[in-house]
Amino acid sequence: MTTTRTAVITGANTGLGFECARALLHSDPSWHVLLAVRDTGRGMAAAAALGHPERTAVAELDLASLCSVDQFACTITQLDVPPVHALVCNAGVQLVSGSHTTRDGYEMTFGVNHLGHFALVRRLLGQLVAPARIVVVSSGTHDPDKYTGMPAPRYTSAEELSTPEVSEYSAEEGRRRYTTSKLCNVLFSYELDRRLGHGAEGITVNAFDPGMMPGSGLARDYPPAQRLAWRFVLPLLRVLPGVRSTRRSGADLAALVADPRYDGVTGAYFAGARQIRSSRDSYDESMAADLWRVSDRLVSTSG
C-alpha cells in the first residue's frame, strides 16, 4: 500500500517519540513518519530499528536554534514524502545542572520545550493538509494539584521565562522551569486551538500527558545516582498510577495522531488514553495570550 500522509515527530530517535513512530507505522500502512531529530546519525539508527525503511525519513531539527527550525521547514518541502497531516511536538529537556541558553540566547528549557515548538508549528501550519492533527506533549507535572514529586510551575510572564538566569540556579529551580514549560505546552495548545477556530479549519490541537516514563531520557542531566534510579528502580513501579512504559504511552500518543475515534476532538487534554481536565492555570486565557504574544515576538525577532 502506498503511503498517503506524513506525521512529523520531534525527538523521535528515542523514548516516547520513537515508540509513537513505531506504533504509528505498525497500526496503519498509509502513514509515513518523518523523524525530526537533533542528531541525524542517531535518527538514521532509529529509522533502521523501526524496520520500515520505505515509510520513514529523517531530517535535522535542533529546537534550541530558531534558524534550524526554519531550515527544517524548508527541508520538508524538498523531501519525497506524502503531504503532512500530523505534527507531534514531543522533544523536551529537563536541566538541573545550572543555567543554559539556546543559540538565540533564550533560557534553554523554555526555548526547547516551548519556543522551538511554537516556531515549528508556526512555520509548518501552511504545509499541513486538512484533516490534520497537532499533538503537543505536556506532563502531569504542570498541575500543582497532583502530587508528582516535582515543584509546582511558576508562570510569571513569558518575557521572564525566556530570560536566562544571570547566575547558576539550583536543581530545584531547574525542575521548576521544566514544570513551568509543561504548563506553557498546554497554554499554547489551547490558544492555538482557539486561533484555528476549534477545528473549523480542519486542524485539531490536543495536549498529551504520557505519565512518568522511566527510561525516557529526561533524567540525562540528573546526578549519576538519580539517573540509575530512573533507569533501574522506577521501572519496577509501573504498577502505580501515572507510571507507564514508553511503549504504552507511545501507543496512546500514536492513537491521538491517527485513530478515527479522535476525529474532530480538539482543545482537549489527555492523560494516556483518557481525556481529563488539565490544571486550573492552563485555562487562563490572559496567560495564554501573554505567552503567544511574547513567543510570536521572540520568533519574529530571531527570524
| Cell triple for 156 | 510569571
Alpha carbons 7 and 98: distance in angstroms, whole number: 34
Contact 15, 213 (CB under 8 A): yes
Rg, Å, the chain Cα set: 18
Q: Of 113, 117, 207, which Cα lies nearest the Cα of 161?
A: 113
Helices (H), 98-236: 108-110, 117-124, 158-162, 171-195, 224-228
Cell of 56: 520513514
Distance CA 243, CA 196 (A): 33
Q: Give the pLDDT of residue 250.
A: 97
**Predicted TM-score (pTM) of this structure:** 0.91
Asked if 178 is an active-site residue, the reply is yes
Q: What are the residue ranges spanned by the domains of the chain?
A: 5-302
Give the model's pLDDT for residue 301: 84
Crossing angle of the two packed helices 15-27 and 246-258, in degrees rounded to 10: 50
Alpha helices in the chain (DSSP H): 15-27, 40-50, 66-78, 108-110, 117-124, 158-162, 171-195, 224-228, 246-258, 285-302
Q: In angstroms, rounded to a whole number, what is the distance separating the alpha carbons of residues 280 and 269?
A: 12
Fold of 5-302: Rossmann fold (3.40.50)
Question: For residue 237, what pLDDT is reported?
Answer: 45
Contact 13, 37 (CB under 8 A): yes
pLDDT at 233: 46
Which pLDDT score is estimated for 273? Answer: 96
pLDDT at 222: 44
Active-site hit among 178, 190, 222, 269: 178
Q: What is the pLDDT along the chain (303 residues), one digit of tens a residue?
A: 588 999 999 999 999 999 999 999 999 999 999 999 999 999 999 999 999 999 999 999 999 999 999 999 999 999 999 999 999 999 999 998 777 899 999 999 999 999 999 999 999 999 999 999 999 999 999 999 998 889 999 999 999 999 998 777 788 999 999 999 999 999 999 999 999 999 999 999 999 999 986 654 554 544 554 444 444 444 444 444 557 889 999 999 999 999 999 999 999 999 999 999 999 999 999 999 999 999 999 999 875
pLDDT recorded at residue 242:
57
SS (H, E, C) 85-101: EEEEECCCCCCCCCCCE
Give the position of cell 514531543. 90
